[in-house]
Each structure stands twice: as C-alpha cells, then as structure tokens.
Chains A and B, each alone.
Chain A
Amino acid sequence: DTAVSQTPKYLVTQMGNDKSIKCEQNLGHDTMYWYKQDSKKFLKIMFSYNNKELIINETVPNRFSPKSPDKAHLNLHINSLELGDSAVYFCASSQARTSGVWGPDTQYFGPGTRLTVL
C-alpha cells in the first residue's frame, strides 16, 4: 500500500532520447510535485500541480513537461535528454486541507527515479 510510487526506479538512456517517469499517489492528495536532486544532493522543486494550476520553476528547461491524466497521477516527460539531466527525480504529494481546516501541507515523497544519461 505504497503512498507515493514512481516507475521506473532506474533509467539509463542515451543523449537526445525522450523518456517519461510515472508517479502515482493513493493518499487522495490534491497537489503533486516533481523535484530534482543533483549529485550534490541539493533538492530543488521543478513543478507543482493541482487540478487548477501548474506552477513551473523558472529554471526548468521547457524540455521538461508534467502531464496529469488524473488527480492521482503526475508523470514527467523529458525531451531531448542531455548529460546534465542525470539526477534523481522525486515525485511528492500533499493535501492542503484536512476536514475543512488548513493543514501543514506536508509533502510525502516517492522513492525516486535515478536517471543516467550517457
């Protein structure tokens, strides 16, 4: 009964390819996120998305695009992969409201996808 799951766990691919990473949450949360963690372990927000709004970090190249088929899924599609895209990508989700009261909006993370671009 994994709360936030991602596939694949590992992804090795060639420069120039297009790839997708899938994320699913079964927590009933209303907001999902994608983060990138580089080799120095710095965790940086890429996107946040709920059913009303997509917020894009201005530093994210437009080769990266989130796609949400429904509230429980937020997939990350990457076009024309580059060497610098090699990193661990984490999906997360949160719920702002609990029983009508604003909560801490704690984010819960998936297990991560380690992307290696050769």
Chain B
Amino acid sequence: GQNIDQPTEMTATEGAIVQINCTYQTSGFNGLFWYQQHAGEAPTFLSYNVLDGLEEKGRFSSFLSRSKGYSYLLLKELQMKDSASYLCAVRDLSRRGGSQGNLIFGKGTKLSVKP
C-alpha cells in the first residue's frame, strides 16, 4: 500500500521562506510531484523529482530523498498570492495507471501567507 503525510496547515509571513514537508511510503516509487491548488481552482503543476536532490524553479524548489521517503517544497520570498493548498503526489508503479503508474495524492497543506 501507500501512505503520504504532509502537515494540514501552515502559516507564514509575506517575504519569508516556508518549507512544506512530505513523507511517503510506497512499494513502487516512480517520481514525486508537487501541485498548487488555489481555493475553487484546479491543481497546477509546480515540480517533479525522480532522483535525489534539489530542483530549483524560481522562487520554488523541491527536494527529494528516496532512501528516507521524504520530500520538501521550499517557497522563498513569499507573496500573498502563494496562499493556497500544496499537494504532494507520488507516482506508484505498483498501481497501474497512465503509462508509468498512478498518482497518489496526499491530503494537501493549506498555506496562509499573512502581511
């Protein structure tokens, strides 16, 4: 089976840095995704990690350690528009779907950015 854990809620201040952690247990790991979802909108793709290390994309970075079953999403220079839910999703080869396994989502972390 699989289990994905991330904090339910976080609060941070505009201009600050915040790190959202995600731990996972899965039998057929084949990549980890981070999605951003604003209230009432669709999830939008932020980042993808399949090898250990840090992937940087502007203000957002994502880190993966496969041996620890751990990832984090780092948001720098926070802006009010970053207030959203952040979804960690693991692709699991043991769950067939698409061509490379199904995406299994965590329950999301609701981030509130305050002035």
Among the listed A50, A57, A104, which residue makes an inter-chain contact with B48, where contact means beta carbons less than 8 Å apart? A104
Is the CB–CB distance between A45 and B102 below 8 Å?
yes
Categorize the interface residue count of chain A.
Answer: 20 to 34
User: Which residues of B, 46-91, contact A by the 8 Å Cβ criterion?
Assistant: 48, 50, 85, 87, 91
A107 touching B103, Cβ below 8 Å: yes
Residues A35-58 near B (CB distance < 8 A)? 40-45, 48, 50, 55, 57
Chain B contributes a number of interface residues (CB within 8 A of A) equal to 24
Q: How far is the CA of A29 from the CA of B77 in the complex (A)?
A: 35
Confirm or deny: A86 has a beta carbon within 8 angstroms of a beta carbon on chain B: no
Instruction: Tell which of B31, B41, B87, B91 touches A43, judged by Cβ atoms closer than 8 Å.
Output: B87
B36 shortest CB reach to chain A, Å = 11
Say yes or no: A106 contacts B107, CB within 8 Å.
no
Q: How far is the CA of A55 from the CA of B95 in the complex (A)?
A: 9
A110-B104 Cα distance, complex, nearest whole Å:
18
- Residue in B41, B96, B98, B100 whose beta carbon sits within 8 Å of that of A33 in the complex: B98
| Interface residues of B, Cβ cutoff 8 Å to A | 31, 33, 37, 41-45, 48, 50, 85, 87, 91, 96-100, 102-105, 107-108
